[in-house]
Structure 1
């Protein structure tokens, strides 16, 4: 589970409309929890996952840069991974990732975003990465339920497929459907999320869900925490917790 990804912006607009809109209007549309498309952003988060065979801790540094007229967004991820089990305690670089997202559609209540992501086989240890080069196309849809833009639904459909890498490692062939509901109030937000993930390689579901609590400390610094749980017979982890801070510059 990684937003998440997951991602960081999900409401969008027709390209020429984007150019024509005033910045105040755009700010109102995108002033949503944890999603900011128009500012240069550094996100640092730490995610701890507990599994049947041990634990994994990932500290990720993510850089987001708007491109051109800001209808495009470039993202870079550099994870540091630690494993902890009865016979393996190591720390090192995980799989680096780069992605680019584009906004084709956005209005006051609905938006659409597409993203192409490549994850490299760059981990310094086989335990820190998949051993594969992976291509991940994603389609995002966002909807504000109210004019005050307090209730936000984010849905995404994603496909993960490996195209190169270690022949001794399992191929990646996973489809993800995820829905997150955000409630934004004052300087805070609360979110709930459910992700259904089908792994065709093992022919099983590796689902998860989380709750999230966030606060805007200032205009330029936001923090959040979310506990999560994996569910399903083939889940990849049991319980987890993530904390992060966003800095806009």
Structure 2
């Protein structure tokens, strides 16, 4: 397990050594569209409700994005508040706090690639609110436009791998391939997303998909809502709904 972790870490260090573009164009590129602001100061506040076989799982999360260096780099912090509701108990508390760094080695007016490395801490105040593990999650992104730059496609490949934490909790080794399609209509957008996952620990496929509706209601603020559904073996929930507010500054 440790050898695999250091392999991913070494791979990311090699990738990050590639020099970024001196100037990143901010007009019509995949990473400046709604919900993908890699090098703009951004606050995302959202609430996600998930229905599970044993009750409900609700996440209220604050995400902060801040550009660093020459704006080819981006710092991300996730602060989750978790609520669980079962037939016998209701709990609320801080979940696993995450920190990540993104890097964009190539970007032009129609396509781009990006890399991200996240560490999700074992910081939940209750075992029901987190994984009980420290998790390392490297990811690769590719984005491009179609249909006269009205359709945006962003594909991502991420692996989540635990490297420390409670010996009483299940190890994490999940790979996700996600495809996000957004159709832009003026200040509005319609999107669809499907994520295929393989959980190597329990040999399951906890996939999910959602449709999304969003609107930019001021020059720096936008709102979205998306219902989702899970499918595949060993799925982690049945259905859910998420609503979020995105603020640029």
Task: Tell me the TM-score normalized by structure 2.
Answer: 0.90
1:127 is paired with a residue of what secondary structure?
helix
CA contact (8 A) 1:132 1:171 kept: yes
Distance of 1:237 and 1:219 partners within structure 2: 35
Task: Determine if the alignment matches structure 1 residue 140 to structure 2 residue 141.
Answer: yes
Kindly tell me the number of residue pairs found equivalent between the two proteins: 231
Question: Offset of 1:26 from its aligned partner?
Answer: 1.7
The gaps in structure 2 that reach 5 residues or longer are 1-17
Question: Offset of 1:15 from its aligned partner?
Answer: 4.9
Question: Offset of 1:106 from its aligned partner?
Answer: 1.4
Cα offsets for 1:210-232 (capped at 9, x unmatched) = 00000001111110000000001
**Cα pair distance change 1:217/1:81, threshold 3 Å:** same
Counterpart in 2 of 1:241? 241
Structure 1 runs of 4+ aligned residues shifted over 6 Å read none
Counterpart mapping for 1:1-249 below 5 A: 15=19, 18-20=21-23, 25-29=25-29, 30-147=31-148, 149-249=149-249
Distance of 1:162 and 1:38 partners within structure 2: 28
The gaps in structure 1 that reach 5 residues or longer are 1-13
Question: Offset of 1:154 from its aligned partner?
Answer: 0.7
Task: Tell me the TM-score normalized by structure 1.
Answer: 0.90
Q: How well do the aligned residues superpose, as a CA RMSD in angstroms? A: 1.3
Cα offsets for 1:69-113 (capped at 9, x unmatched) = 100000000000000001121000000000000001112222110
Question: Offset of 1:233 from its aligned partner?
Answer: 2.6
1:79 is paired with a residue of what secondary structure?
strand
